[in-house]
Amino acid sequence: MTTERFVAYYRVSTAKQGASGLGLEAQRETVRQYLCNGGYPPLAEFTDIESGANADRPGIAAAILHCQMTGARLVVAKFDRLSRDAEFFYGRFKRTGIRWVAADNPDMNELTADVMMAVAKHERLLASQRTKAALAAAKARGVKLGGYRGKHAPLDVLAANAAKGVVTKKAKADEFATRLLPKMREMQDRGLSLNAMAKELDAIGFRTKQRGKSGEEGRWTATAVRRVLARADASKAA
């Protein structure tokens, strides 16, 4: 092992796993063993608690930015912790040019990574098809699918669902802003204007949380930069 610098990234699939440490500690231990039994601790560690098929993950976005700012290599415990979406991997990672390594298979190259991601994508498609087929068969047997089936859902149910959605959306936006704040402060220290900051974020391949009609991640504007800064400051003060 060399004195090369690393940024560690971990991912767990559910909030329950994240809270309990299930899976997370195992990933940390695998990375620690790879980095010479902790002899070369990572510069920083980032974690996401989401689905591997979801490309909108603030933890990996922050890890990428940290790698770009420090020249460090991204290290994950297992390749599937990096991303199960080939488009996400070859889009954001190759566009930004960061280097990465999987602790469980450090000799992996782009060809083997491509094959593994294609297989994972195919397995997700098959699982989705099996689920749809099972639901269709249940419906054909007369099984009622779904929840409340009245003409209108009860007002208390609608209100509770709406409140839950607002809280979840705000929490994700706050986390996104907090993780991006160090990079934005660094650009402010260089005297960049809001417009210049927006252009630099676009140039390094980082995208806003807002998505266009096509579903693609949005591009930065001065207004978007200002909003993230304001949200990060408000979240920090709360």
* CB 18, CB 24: distance < 8 Å: yes
Q: How far is CA 170 from the centre of its chain?
A: 16
Residue 137 lies in a domain: no
CATH number of the structural domain spanning residue 107 = 3.40.50.1390
* CB 83, CB 48: distance < 8 Å: no
> Last residue of some domain: 111, 136, 168?
111
* CB 84, CB 52: distance < 8 Å: yes
Range of the domain at 196: 155-237
Q: Verify that 101 and 169 share a domain, yes or no.
A: no
Task: Give exposure, 179-205, as e/b (b: 16+ Cβ within 10 Å).
Answer: bbbebbeebeeeebebeebbbbbeebb
Q: What was the pLDDT predicted at 45?
A: 92
With vertex at residue 32, the alpha carbon angle to CA 72 and CA 53, rounded to the nearest 5 degrees, is: 70
pLDDT in tens, 131-189: 888 888 888 888 777 655 555 555 565 566 666 666 567 777 777 777 777 788 888 88
Residue 119 lies in a domain: no
Q: Verify that 105 and 159 share a domain, yes or no.
A: no
* CB 11, CB 45: distance < 8 Å: no
Q: What was the pLDDT predicted at 38?
A: 64
Domains contained in the chain, number = 2
Residue 57 lies in a domain: yes
Task: Give exposure, 68-79, as e/b (b: 16+ Cβ within 10 Å).
Answer: beeebebbbbeb
Q: What was the pLDDT predicted at 81?
A: 60
> Angle, nearest 10°, between helix axes 155-189 and 194-203?
100
Q: Verify that 13 and 94 share a domain, yes or no.
A: yes
Tell me the C-alpha distance between 235 and 178, whole Å.
Answer: 8
**pTM of the full predicted structure?**
0.53
Whole-number CA gyration radius for the chain: 21
pLDDT in tens, 21-74: 458 888 999 999 999 876 778 999 998 876 545 556 788 888 888 998 889 999
> Last residue of some domain: 47, 81, 111?
111
With vertex at residue 53, the alpha carbon angle to CA 47 and CA 56, rounded to the nearest 5 degrees, is: 55
Residue 61 lies in a domain: yes
Q: Verify that 16 and 104 share a domain, yes or no.
A: yes
Give the pLDDT mean for 71-91.
72
Q: Verify that 26 and 90 share a domain, yes or no.
A: yes
Residue 26 lies in a domain: yes
Model confidence at 17: pLDDT above 70? no
Two structure tokens written together for 61: 């976005």
Q: Verify that 12 and 86 share a domain, yes or no.
A: yes
Q: Verify that 88 and 162 share a domain, yes or no.
A: no
Q: Where are the alpha helices (DSSP H) in the chain?
A: 15-20, 24-34, 58-70, 86-88, 94-96, 110-140, 155-189, 194-203, 222-237
Q: Verify that 76 and 160 share a domain, yes or no.
A: no
Q: Which residue has the higher pLDDT, 31 or 88?
A: 31
Residue 131 lies in a domain: no
Q: 38-47, 186-195, 206-215: which has the minimum mean pLDDT?
A: 206-215
Using pLDDT thresholds of 50, 70 and 90, give the confidence band for residue 8.
very high
> Last residue of some domain: 82, 111, 140?
111
* CB 126, CB 235: distance < 8 Å: no
Residue 24 lies in a domain: yes
